[in-house]
Amino acid sequence: MFQIGDVEIKNRVVVAPMAGISNSAFRLTVKEFGAGLVCCEMISGKGIEYRNQKTIDMLYIDEKEKPLSLQIFGGEKETLVEAAKFVAENTTADIIDINMGCPVNKIIKCEAGAKWLLDPNKVHDMVKAVVAAIDKPVTVKMRIGWDDEHVFAVENALAAESAGGSSYSHARADACTNVRRCRKLGYLARCKKSD
C-alpha cells in the first residue's frame, strides 16, 4: 500500500499512460489483473476547453477503475488550470497528472509535453497554479531533460515539489535523443537526494 496525497493505492504496480491504448476498457483489464493504479491516456487541455466531443468522451471513468490518475497536456498555464478544474468538477478522477514528457512534434510545437522541461521556473509556476485551483493531488510525469545540453531533471523535480506537486515520475530518456540514461546516470537517486 502507498499513498499519493490522500489517495490510497493498494500496490506499487502503476500502469503508465499510453496514448491510443489506455482507454477505459484497457484500464479495467489491467485492474482485473491486479494493477494498483491506472492512468488514462493523455487528454488535451485545449480539447477540454473547447468541449470537443471526442475529448469529453475520453474523460469517461468506470468506478471499477479507481483509483485512477487522469493525465492532461497543454502548453499554457491557463489552459492546464482550466482543464484541471473541469476534470476535478466533472469526473471522479482521483489524481490529475500533467504530461511533461511527450516528445512528438504536434505536442511540442504547442509548447506542451516535453517542452516544459526547458524551464524549471515555468514548471514551478504552472504546477503551483494547478495545485491552487483544485483539491485533488497533482502529479507530473517528466523526462530527465530535453536534450544533452538541457538536462534539468533535479531542477524540474524540485520545482514541481516546491509548487505542491504530490509526486513525479520519470521516463528514463531525454526527449530529443531518446537515449535511456536515467538509470545509468542515477537521476532518480539525485532527485531524491536533493529533497
Ligand X SMILES: Cc1cc2nc3c(=O)[nH]c(=O)nc-3n(C[C@H](O)[C@H](O)[C@H](O)COP(=O)(O)O)c2cc1C
- Point out which residues bind ligand X (CB under 6 A): 16-19, 21, 41-42, 71, 99, 101-102, 141, 171-172
Rank residues 135 and 181 by Cβ distance to ligand X and give the closer one.
Answer: 181
Rank residues 16 and 28 by Cβ distance to ligand X and give the closer one.
Answer: 16
Residue nearest to ligand X (CB): 16
As to burial, measured by CB atoms within 10 angstroms (0-12 exposed, 13-18 middle, 19+ buried), residue 183 is exposed
Cβ-contact 143, 181 below 8 angstroms: no
Closest CB 14 distance from ligand X, rounded Å: 10
CA dist 53 and 35 (Å) reads 29
Closest CB 164 distance from ligand X, rounded Å: 20
Rank residues 18 and 28 by Cβ distance to ligand X and give the closer one.
Answer: 18
- CA of residue 61 relative to chain centroid, distance: 17
Q: Which residues contact 149 (CB under 8 A, 6 or more apart)?
A: none
Closest CB 159 distance from ligand X, rounded Å: 18
Neighbours of 33 (CB within 10 A): 8
Are β-strands 138-142 and 167-170 bridged in parallel, bridged antiparallel, or unpaired?
parallel
Q: Which residues contact 81 (CB under 8 A, 6 or more apart)?
A: 129, 130, 133
Rank residues 115 and 141 by Cβ distance to ligand X and give the closer one.
Answer: 141
Annotated catalytic residue 102: yes
> Which of the residues 102, 110, 182, 191 is marked catalytic?
102
In the numeric block, the cell 506499487 is attached to: 12
The catalytic residue positions are: 102
